[in-house]
Chain A
C-alpha cells in the first residue's frame, strides 16, 4: 500500500472508532439527526478549512480566515440593514471583496517575497479592523430571504435534516477534491508545496498559482462568512475569533503535511467531523466541561504530527535502502 494514504486511513479509522465508542456509551448518537447536526454546526468551519487545505498543501498558511468570516458577516448585516438590495446581490459583493482581499495577500506574499505567516497576520488585523469600523454591535439580519434559506433542507430517513448550509459544505468539499486532483491548478498547488524552485523548473506559473491559492482561500472564507451569517442570523465583529486555528487543526488531523505537498481535501472533512464529534460527545455527556475539547484536539494534533514524522522517517529509510 502506498504510505501516502496512511495518515488519511488513520484519520478515518480514528473517526470510526471514536464514533463507535460514543455510540456504545450513548446509543442515541447513532441517528441521522446527530449526523445532520454535525454537518450543519460545522458547515462554516468546513468550508473555510477547504481553503486552508489548499493553502497548506502549497506550503503556506492563512491566518486571516477567522477575521474574514467575521467581516463578511458584519458586511452583510450592515448592507442588508442600511439598503434594500437583495441578499443574493449582497452575497456576490461580499464574495468579490473577500476574493480580491485574498488575491492581494497572495500578490504581496509572492511579489514582496514575505512569509505568508506575517502577511496573513496583517490581513487578519485589517479584516478584523474593517469589521470593527463597520460596526461594533451585533446586528441581527431579519430579511425574509434568510428565513427561506434557513428553512430549506433535505429530510433524511430517521428525522435528520441536511440543511442548505450542511449540503453546501459537502458540495464545497466535493468541488475541492475535484480541483485538487483533477485540474492543472490542483497539480500546481501540490508541486508548489513540494518546493518552489522545483516547481519553477517544472514550469509551474508560481506567481499566478500563489495568487490564485490565496484568492481561493479568501473566496471560501467569504462563503464561510455567508454560511455563518445564515447559521447565526446576525453579523458580529467579535465572532469566529480563532477559527483559523480550528481549521489548521482540522487540516493536520486530516493528514495533510504542514510542510506542504502531501495531503487530501477529503481528510480535512474527516478532521472537521472528528472535532465536531468531540463537541457532540461533550454535549451528550453534560458533565464534562467544554475545555476538554481544546485539550483533546491538542492531543490529537500532537499524535498526528508524531504519526507523520514516523511515516516520513520510515519512507526515508526505505528510500535509502532501495
Chain B
C-alpha cells in the first residue's frame, strides 16, 4: 500500500468501522438488509435507500466540512435549502426552462453563501451569529416566495433530479457522489485544502504569511450555500413541491453532526470530506436501521444523542490524554516486567 493510501485508511478507519458495526447490527435485526435487486435498470434495496435518503445531509456535509475547517459554522443551510427549493419551484412554474431554473436556484444558493461569507469575513462577525440571521429570516423569505402554500410542480426534468436514475443509481446519489468527488479533488489536488486548514488553525498567522483569508472564508460559505441549493433542489424534486416550513428543517444540525462524527474538529484545522460523507451515511443508517428493525421511531433521537456523547467522549482532549497516559502506563509496566525478568 502506498503511504498516502495508508494515511487515508488510518484516517477513515474509525468512521468505516462504526458504519460497518451499525450496518451489521441492522442486518441482524433485519435479515434482507444487504439484498440488492436490479429493476428497470435501477438498483433497489435498503443500502441504496440509505444512500438515497442520505443525499441532502451528505450534500450539506460537504460544504459544512469546509466551513468548519475554517473554524466557522453555518447554521443557515436548512433555511437556504427551503429558500432554494421555493425558488426552484417558483421558477419552473412560471415557465422558465429547466437549465434556467437550475441556474437561478444555484445562483440563489451562492448569493446566500455570499451574504454569510461577507458577514463573517468582512464584518468579522462570529460565524455562529452571522449565519443565525439567515437561519431565522430564511424560512420567512422562503414562505414569502411560496406565499405560504406548498408550491407544487410537475416538470419531468426537475422531478428526474429527485427520483430519476443514472448508471443504475438514484439521481440524488449520483449528484452527491459526483459533487463530493469534485470538491474533494478541488481541495486536495490543489493547495486550497491546506490553505483552508491553515486559516482554520490560525487566521492571523495565515494572513500574515500571505494567504488571502478573506477570499477563502467567503469561498467556504459560498460553497456551503451551493451545497444547500443542490440539497434544496433534491428535497423539492423528491416531493414535487416546495415546502417552505419543513424543507431542510433541522438538517443543519444533522450536517454538523455528520462532520463531527467524521472526526473534523469544530475548532477548525484538519478536515476530511470523505470522512464527513461517511458520517452522513452513519446518521442515515441509524435512522433507516431504527425504522427497519422495528424499534419505535421515538428512540431515534435518544440513540442519536447517545452516539454523539460517545463520539464526544472519545474525541475530547481529556479522554485522549487519558488514553496516552494508559498506553504509557501499560508500556512502562511491560518495561518493569521485562526488567524484573
Chain A residues proximal to chain B, CB less than 8 Å: 61, 108, 111-115, 117-119, 121-126, 128-130, 132-133, 136, 245, 248-249, 252, 258-259, 289, 291-295, 297-299, 301-302, 305-306, 309
Contact = CB atoms under 8 A, between A and B. Distances in A.
Contacts of A249: 132, 136
Interface in B105-162: 123-126, 128-130, 132-141, 143-144, 148
B130 A295 contact: no
Interface stretch (B165-173, B217-225, B226-234, B296-304): B296-304
A289 B137 contact: no
A111 B318 CA distance: 8
B81 interface: no
Interface of B: 73, 123-126, 128-130, 132-141, 143-144, 148, 244, 253, 256-257, 260, 266-267, 296-306, 308-309, 312-313, 315-319
Nearest to A295: B140
A281 B205 CA distance: 49
B133 A294 contact: no
A118 B298 contact: no
Contacts of B138: 298
A126 B305 contact: yes
A317 to B, nearest CB: 15
B125 A309 contact: yes
B123 A306 contact: yes
22 contacts: A112-B312, A112-B319, A114-B316, A115-B267, A118-B266, A119-B312, A122-B305, A122-B312, A125-B304, A126-B306, A133-B298, A136-B298, A248-B132, A249-B132, A258-B128, A259-B126, A291-B148, A291-B244, A297-B136, A298-B134, A305-B125, A306-B123
A245 B125 contact: no
A121 B261 CA distance: 13
Contacts of B313: 112
Given A113-B317, A252-B129, A301-B132, A118 B308 contact: yes
Contacts of B298: 129, 132-133, 136
Contacts of B134: 298
A129 B316 contact: no
Nearest to A289: B148
B169 to A, nearest CB: 31
A301 B315 CA distance: 34
Given A113-B316, A117-B128, A294 B137 contact: yes
B130 A128 contact: no
A126 B302 contact: yes
B137 to A, nearest CB: 2
A129 B140 contact: no
**Closest 6 pairs between A and B when the two form their complex, measured CB to CB:** A298-B137, A129-B301, A294-B140, A129-B302, A132-B298, A126-B305
Contacts of A305: 125, 129-130, 133
B308 A112 contact: no
Given A117-B73, A118-B260, A289-B143, A309 B301 contact: no
A158 B313 CA distance: 57
A50 to B, nearest CB: 20
A271 to B, nearest CB: 13
A245 B135 contact: yes
A122 B306 CA distance: 8
A129 B305 contact: yes
Given A126-B302, A130-B302, A305-B130, A298 B140 contact: yes
Select the residue from A122, A126, A130 with max chain B CB neighbours within 10 A.
Answer: A122
Given A133-B302, A301-B136, A306-B123, 9 more contacts: A112-B318, A113-B317, A118-B260, A129-B305, A258-B128, A291-B144, A294-B140, A295-B141, A298-B137
B183 to A, nearest CB: 24
A123 B305 contact: yes
Contacts of B136: 245, 249, 294, 297-298, 301
Contacts of B304: 125, 129
Contacts of A136: 298
Contact of B126 (A258, A292, A297): A258
B266 A115 contact: yes
Contact of B308 (A125, A130, A245, A293): A125
A248 B128 CA distance: 11
Select the residue from A108, A112, A119 with max chain B CB neighbours within 10 A.
Answer: A112
Contacts of B126: 258-259
Given A113-B317, A125-B305, A108 B300 contact: no
A309 B300 CA distance: 41
A238 to B, nearest CB: 12
Contacts of B300: 129, 132
Nearest to B249: A241
A79 to B, nearest CB: 18
A249 B75 CA distance: 14
A128 B299 CA distance: 10
